[in-house]
């Protein structure tokens, strides 16, 4: 590949320049950050020699061989190092490059990497005449996804990662950016502060919270599912009524519960769903409740739930469903939450109605249930219903 001439870019309060030997100490300090180690492929542990080799050998070789264009991101006024942003690959034959970045922990919250990514993209399109930039990050890296969106990238799917982080997931989000799509300096652009994307990135980019509900005289917890809950999940999913009205595997064994735990953890990481176990005042498993965001309508969610046999009739599930719905409206910004159950599942319908869901009718052949199309009841709760 042809050499790419190192350049400096000054834009929107930032100086982007090639790496220098004097940056090694700051790079080493930044890469001790748990988030950088979690979401990137930097060596672990990250030693001073790793930083020195990066700024003096690896980055220089990328420029000389034309395989990349790595920039140190600095404050234009002070010269202080704020992060890293650049092209991690360049494919001149296809006119394409891939962007990569990290933000030093002391520089977060100021939009540094959004501004840097836009500057790099403009330079790549104008100076290198690239026709497309791509971005990818492990599913769950909501901070990186939000930067990409605010830089103008269209996140359009998922793919299996070629070089996953040690101990990380195998799937990544992928996005692309074309010339003319980079927001102007100072513009909010897609997923700017206050948008639904930004709001949800802040939620799903953190550990799943614990919610609290009251049933009778006792306080219930809605918390993330843990390994210690799986035996109770297996027992509940082997019970006749659970099998009759849900689509849990039959027969149901421990491996099914373990797979379910993986699915709900993936759903949280992807920002697609929030699944909680309901526990009694002694933190014993009493049931499960799921809130899933519609892939077709980001303002609509749907709920599903099951109650452990020993806890039925105590009012636990209506209380938990009310709490989860309120959280979905206030925290995730949903406008409508739907409930569906097979016609005849009166216990589930009573739960939904006690939680405030308004019955809307019957959808004929609305779901596939154990190999057949079944009629389903439909009810919904709107955000204004809780005001």
pTM here is 0.90
Q: Cite the residue boundaries of each domain of the chain with CATH code 3.40.630.30.
A: 9-193, 211-386
Range 20-48 average pLDDT: 96
* Cα–Cα distance for residue pair 217/94, rounded to 1 Å: 66
The predicted model gives 7-22 an average pLDDT of: 97
Q: Are 293 and 301 in contact (CB under 8 A)?
A: yes
Q: Is the pLDDT of residue 148 over 90?
A: yes
**CATH code at 9-193:** 3.40.630.30
Could you tell me how many residues make up the chain?
387
- Which architecture, in CATH terms, is 211-386? 3-Layer(aba) Sandwich (3.40)
Q: For 208-251, write each residue's pLDDT tens digit.
A: 999 999 887 679 999 999 999 999 999 999 999 999 999 999 99
pLDDT tens, residue by residue, 99-138? 999 999 999 999 999 999 999 999 999 999 999 999 999 9
Query: How far apart are the C-alpha atoms of 28 and 83, rounded to whole Å?
Result: 12
> What pLDDT does residue 1 have?
64
Please tell me the distance from the alpha carbon of residue 291 to that of residue 228, in angstroms, as a whole number. 22
Instruction: Give the position of tokens 């989860």.
Output: 324
- What digits encode the pLDDT tens for the residues 340-372? 999 999 999 999 999 999 999 999 999 999 999
9-11, strands of its sheet edge to edge:
9-11, 14-17, 69-75, 81-91, 96-103, 132-138, 171-177, 154-160
3 state SS for the chain: CCCCCCCCEEECCEEEECCCHHHHHHHHHHCCCHHHHHHCCCCCCCCHHHHHHHHHHHHHHHHHHCCCEEEEEEECCCCCEEEEEEEEEEECCCCEEEEEEEECHHHCCCCHHHHHHHHHHHHHHHCCCCCEEEEEEECCCHHHHHHHHHCCCEEEEEEECCCCCCCCCCEEEEEEECCCCCCCCCCCCCCCCCCHHHHHHHHHCCCCCCEEEEECCEEEEEECCCHHHHHHHHHHHCCHHHHHHCCCCCCCCHHHHHHHHHHHHHHHHCCCEEEEEEECCCCCEEEEEEEEECCCCCCEEEEEEEECHHHCCCCHHHHHHHHHHHHHHHCCCCCEEEEEEECCCHHHHHHHHHCCCEEEEEEEEEEEECCEEEEEEEEEEEHHHHC
Q: Are 340 and 378 in contact (CB under 8 A)?
A: yes
For residues 78 and 216, the model is more confident at 78
Q: Which residues pair with 278 in a beta bridge?
A: 222, 287
């Amino acid at each position: 590949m042809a050499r790419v001439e190192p350049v400096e870019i000054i834009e929107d309060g930032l100086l982007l320049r090639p790496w220098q030997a004097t940056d090694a100490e700051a790079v080493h300090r930044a890469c001790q950050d748990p988030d950088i180690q979690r979401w990137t492929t930097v060596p672990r542990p990250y030693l001073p020699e790793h930083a020195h080799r990066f700024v003096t050998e690896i980055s220089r070789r990328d420029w000389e061989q034309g395989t990349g264009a790595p920039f140190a991101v600095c404050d234009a006024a002070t010269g202080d190092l704020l992060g890293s942003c650049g092209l991690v690959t360049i494919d001149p034959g296809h006119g394409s490059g891939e962007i990569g970045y990290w933000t030093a922990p002391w520089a977060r919250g100021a939009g540094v990497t959004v501004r840097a990514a836009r500057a790099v993209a403009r330079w790549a399109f104008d100076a290198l005449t690239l026709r497309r930039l791509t971005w990818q990050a492990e599913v769950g890296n909501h901070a990186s996804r939000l930067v990409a969106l605010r830089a103008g990238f269209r996140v359009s799917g998922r793919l299996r990662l070629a070089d996953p982080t040690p101990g990380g997931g195998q799937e990544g989000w992928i996005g692309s950016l074309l010339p003319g799509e980079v927001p102007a300096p100072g513009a909010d652009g897609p997923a700017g502060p206050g948008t639904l994307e930004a709001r949800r990135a802040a939620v799903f980019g953190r550990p799943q919270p614990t919610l609290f509900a009251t049933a009778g005289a006792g306080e219930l917890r809605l918390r993330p599912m843990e390994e210690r809950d799986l035996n109770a999940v297996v027992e509940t999913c082997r019970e006749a009524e659970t099998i009759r009205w849900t689509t849990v595997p039959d027969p149901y064994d421990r491996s099914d519960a373990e797979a379910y735990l993986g699915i709900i953890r993936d759903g949280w990481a992807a920002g697609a769903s929030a699944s909680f176990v309901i526990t009694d005042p002694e933190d014993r498993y009493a049931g499960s409740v799921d809130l899933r965001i519609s892939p077709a309508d980001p303002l609509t969610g749907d709920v599903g739930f099951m109650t452990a046999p020993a806890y039925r009739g105590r009012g636990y599930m209506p209380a938990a469903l009310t709490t989860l719905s309120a959280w979905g409206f206030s925290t995730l910004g949903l406008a409508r939450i739907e409930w569906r159950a097979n016609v005849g599942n009166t216990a589930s319908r009573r739960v939904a109605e006690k939680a405030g869901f308004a019955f809307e009718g019957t959808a004929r052949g609305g779901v596939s249930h154990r190999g057949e199309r079944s009629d389903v009841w439909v009810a919904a709760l709107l955000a204004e219903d809780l005001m």
